[in-house]
């Protein structure tokens, strides 16, 4: 990618390829040398001198730098390629990234490209990824699952030999928590996903873990969980996650799900419920001629991580099924990565909302059982 403009630009251009350390920079230089050696016509154009590649005819120049060396503050370049950003360090690595990002706007039409595999969710790189993913000024693309050129036998071998978390990060392209997952991989078999709701349900509820909208931190979502319970006391879950939604948008979606799924209850954590959402939920429901049975979910001062861990029996016994889709996959990924050691509020919107839905369903199930006992 870096050699393409160097070889084919009709005018003189200057570029940077940046690595996290000197070893990675050395690998980049070796890859460039192999590419030139394999293509003699490139060798007629380009020459590698230490950590620079030059075009003999146009004078274009490519510099290979790393965070171990001087930063790029003040550099004026036409393009910059950042390699394996997820492995850059907190100190010098992050400083180099800041210098490159601040360099790009200094020259019109400068192109900044970041190439990286999946990393760890409790890092500055994850926050950056989430900002870029939703920023209209950036083009973002992520490979969903293993690279298609890796054979099944190779993947199976890697899965047997690597720790589960590292296998998912390195081969399935899933960002994971460095803190240590709370639950084993055996709790999340592929068979936990379903495509269509079962015909027989005792009832359904919907819960919302709200976001603060445009002021929310990266990775913070408005998480919706629709939960149905069957006669075998299994939970069937459909999940959604949305960023930068206003209070009205969140309330509108909650009312819509309530109506579409035939729910008998809607829940939001009490702290948000009274002050932000209850009036808006009721107002929107009235405009649609609906009555919403809504509940403020009281946490009784129990820390969020402790509440989420209470999901353990449902996961360990296979009582939790999740509808396949982007929202469901994100929920399961957050469950897989969840750790009591992670800072509170970090990538736990879906699990927190799921716990609220389970709490509400159990409450309504208890009410139903009490009514039947009284009638009996």
| Residue 279 confidence class, pLDDT cut points 50, 70, 90 | confident
Q: What is the DSSP string of 291-328?
A: ---EEEE--TT--HHHHHHTTHHHHHTT-EEEE-SHHH
**pLDDT greater at residue 256 or residue 68:** 256
Q: Which of 86, 116, 146 is the last residue of a domain?
A: 116
| Residue 14 confidence class, pLDDT cut points 50, 70, 90 | very high
| Residue 182 confidence class, pLDDT cut points 50, 70, 90 | confident
Residues 108 and 210 in one domain: no
DSSP strand pairing (203-209 vs 61-66): unpaired
Per-residue pLDDT tens for 19-57?
988 888 888 999 999 999 999 999 999 999 888 999 999
* pLDDT surpasses 90 at 290: no
287 belongs to a structural domain? yes
Residues 104 and 236 in one domain: no
pLDDT at 282: 86
pLDDT at 214: 55
Task: Give the least confident one: 150-154, 161-165, 210-214, 226-230.
Answer: 210-214
Per-residue pLDDT tens for 323-340?
999 899 999 988 988 887
Q: Which of 116, 131, 154 is the last residue of a domain?
A: 116
Per-residue pLDDT tens for 291-312?
888 777 666 567 788 889 889 9
Nearest to 2 by CA among 171, 125, 25: 25
Residues 111 and 194 in one domain: no
Q: Report how far residue 183's alpha carbon sits from residue 337's, in angstroms, rounded to the nearest whole number.
A: 8
Residues 94 and 208 in one domain: no
Residues 213 and 308 in one domain: yes
Q: Which of 97, 116, 135 is the last residue of a domain?
A: 116
Q: Write down the mean pLDDT value for the chain.
A: 86
Query: CB-hemisphere CA count at 13 Å for 276?
Result: 18
Residues 20 and 107 in one domain: yes
pLDDT at 306: 84
Share of the chain above pLDDT 70, in %: 89
Residue 42 corresponds to which tokens in the numbers above?
Answer: 């490139």
How many angstroms separate the Cα of 339 from the Cα of each of 24, 183, 307, 309?
A: 31, 8, 12, 9
Highest mean pLDDT among 170-179, 233-242, 291-300, 329-338: 233-242
State which H helix or E strand residue 158 sits in. helix 152-161
pLDDT at 162: 81
State which H helix or E strand residue 207 sits in. strand 203-209
Domain count, the chain: 2
Contact by Cβ (8 Å): 210, 276: yes
Domain that holds residue 216: 185-375
pLDDT at 79: 94
Mean pLDDT of 71-88: 83
Mean pLDDT of 68-72: 59
Residues 93 and 200 in one domain: no
| Residue 278 confidence class, pLDDT cut points 50, 70, 90 | confident
pLDDT at 243: 83
98 belongs to a structural domain? yes
Residues 355 and 273 in one domain: yes
Task: Give the least confident one: 173-187, 220-234, 243-257, 335-349.
Answer: 335-349
Residues 189 and 297 in one domain: yes
Mean pLDDT of 246-268: 92
310 belongs to a structural domain? yes
The CATH number covering residue 98 comes to 3.40.50.300
Residues 204 and 296 in one domain: yes
pLDDT at 210: 87
């Amino acid at each position: 990618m870096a050699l393409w403009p160097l070889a084919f630009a009709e005018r003189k251009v200057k570029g940077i390829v940046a690595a996290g350390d000197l070893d990675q920079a050395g690998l980049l230089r070796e890859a460039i040398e192999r590419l030139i050696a394999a293509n003699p016509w490139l060798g007629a154009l380009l020459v590698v001198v230490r950590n620079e590649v030059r075009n003999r005819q146009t004078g274009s120049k490519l510099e290979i730098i790393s965070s171990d060396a001087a930063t790029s503050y003040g550099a004026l370049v036409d393009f910059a390629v950042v390699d394996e950003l997820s492995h850059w360090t907190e100190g010098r690595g992050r400083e180099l990234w800041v210098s490159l990002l601040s360099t790009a706007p200094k020259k019109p039409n400068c192109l900044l490209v970041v190439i990286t595999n999946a990393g760890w969710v409790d890092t500055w790189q994850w926050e950056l990824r989430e900002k870029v993913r939703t920023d209209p000024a950036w083009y973002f693309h992520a490979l969903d699952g293993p690279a298609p050129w890796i054979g099944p036998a190779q993947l199976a071998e890697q899965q047997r030999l690597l720790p589960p978390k590292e296998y998912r990060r390195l081969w399935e392209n899933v960002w994971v928590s460095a803190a240590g997952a709370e639950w084993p991989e055996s709790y999340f078999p592929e068979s936990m996903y379903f495509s269509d709701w079962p015909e027989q349900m005792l009832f359904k509820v919907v819960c919302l873990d709200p976001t603060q909208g445009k002021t929310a931190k990266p990775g913070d979502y408005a998480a919706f969980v629709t939960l149905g319970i069957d006669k075998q006391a299994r939970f069937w879950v459909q999940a959604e996650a949305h960023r930068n939604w206003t209070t009205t948008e969140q309330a509108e979606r909650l009312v819509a799900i309530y109506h579409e799924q035939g729910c008998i209850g809607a829940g939001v954590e009490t702290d948000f419920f009274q002050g932000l959402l209850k009036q808006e939920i009721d107002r929107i429901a009235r405009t649609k001629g609906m009555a919403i049975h809504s509940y403020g979910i009281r946490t009784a001062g129990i820390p969020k991580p402790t509440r989420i861990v209470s999901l353990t029996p449902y996961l360990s016994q296979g009582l939790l099924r999740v509808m396949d889709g982007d929202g469901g996959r994100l929920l399961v990924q957050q469950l897989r990565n969840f750790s009591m050691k992670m800072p509170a509020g970090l990538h736990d919107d879906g699990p927190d909302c799921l716990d609220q839905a389970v709490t509400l369903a159990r409450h309504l199930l208890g009410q139903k059982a009490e009514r039947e006992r009284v009638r009996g």
